[in-house]
Structure 1
Amino acid sequence: MQSHLRSDDFIERAMRLWGSTVWRLALSQTQSPHDADDLCQEVFVRLLKDSTAFVDDEHLKAWLIRTTINCGRDLHRSAWKRHNNLTDTFRDTQFEEAVEESESVRAFRESEVGLALAKLPVSTRLIVHLYYYEGYATEEIARMVRCLPGTVRSRLRRARTQLKGLLEKEASHETRE
């Protein structure tokens, strides 16, 4: 049985167009640059092997986002992830140069808002990311995460309340010190 593989040009174009989106979403889900790299690799390997006929670039982007969400869920469910909470102790210089996580992304992740956002549950963080960073409407997000638009709006409202509480708690903690 011969398997279908997409062309190198198709994969390179997809990575050029949507690679950073997939990586940011993966980072949002995993909170680890190394896990985000692994997730991205898995998504693009799946794209390489997939035979979906994409209508346009938006269809491809939606497929990549949906696949990233699914791969992230698979990672969180995996026995390895559940039983091993390892800290990244090694830094690959090639990784550092390639991802260079951009200073703005790194600064945001280390900011009060970024740290507070990291404390939200994965499902809530995912919706916040898709809404605020990728610019999707609640109806589009609902289709991607397979829930009702009202559920997305509810999670966004809950996320805002949780973030406000976390930031206020942090601010009051800093004023006491």
Structure 2
Amino acid sequence: MKGEQDVNRVVEQYSDMIRRLCMIHLKNYADTEDIFQTVFLKYVLSSVSFENEEHEKAWFIRVTINACKDFLKSFFRSRVISLDDILDQPAEIREDHREVLEAVLSLPQKYRDVVYLHYYEGYTASEIGDILNKKVNTVYTLLTRSKQMLREKLEGDE
């Protein structure tokens, strides 16, 4: 683990370069900040010793690029629709997304949790059961009931 003085030095020295690399790859400020933190956390936790300043700089560049690539191909990234993408869609499609989101958010908490974990995060019923400390059959029941509640809410709006 690195000392505070060393961490402060590398943050001061490489922060602009890392942010620029992230923006080139991710084109998004929030994602850039996430990767920025990830890179410095990897540095703090690493036991790597550098031969010289150029070796250190090359390490930061490689770690940053790899973190950006990993983020871009992550499961989360492939399942998320950005707000900009929704806003670029025709008005009637934007309205459908908004209605579905409002319907999901109006569900009671126990239904909202399973819907979110299943449909937005891609977890299976058994994984949701482990996360929420519920039996798999309970998760299936909650999913079935939440689908019915959503169907009623969304059909009632039409």
Q: Find out whether 1:15 has 2:11 as its counterpart.
A: yes
Shift of 1:77: 1.1
Provide closer, same or farther for how the CA distance between residues 31 and 55 of structure 1 changes in structure 2, counting only shifts above 3 A.
same
Equivalent position amino acid for 1:46 in 2 = K
* Residue 59 of structure 1: aligned partner: 55
Which aligned segments of 4 or more residues in structure 1 are displaced greater than 4 angstroms? none
* Residue 25 of structure 2: aligned partner: 29
1:126-165 aligned at under 5 Å gives the runs: none
CA deviation string 1:11-41 (max 9, x = no partner): 1100111110001001111000110010010
Larger Rg: 2
Unmatched 5+ residue regions in structure 2? 85-158
Bigger mean CA offset, 48-57 vs 79-88: 79-88
Q: Percent identity?
A: 27
Unmatched 5+ residue regions in structure 1? 89-177
Q: Find out whether 1:38 has 2:34 as its counterpart.
A: yes
* Residue 69 of structure 2: aligned partner: 73
* Residue 124 of structure 2: aligned partner: none
- TM-score normalised by structure 2 residue count: 0.51
The whole-number CA distance in structure 1 between the counterparts of 2:83 and 2:56 is 33
The whole-number CA distance in structure 2 between the counterparts of 1:32 and 1:69 is 15
- TM-score normalised by structure 1 residue count: 0.46
More helix by share: 2
CA deviation string 1:125-151 (max 9, x = no partner): xxxxxxxxxxxxxxxxxxxxxxxxxxx
Tell which has more relative contact order, 1 or 2 (C-alpha 8 A, sep 6+): 1
Shift of 1:8: 1.0
Aligned length: 84
* Residue 106 of structure 2: aligned partner: none
CA deviation string 1:60-99 (max 9, x = no partner): 11000000011011101111101103238xxxxxxxxxxx
* 2:31 match: secondary structure: helix
The whole-number CA distance in structure 1 between the counterparts of 2:39 and 2:80 is 22
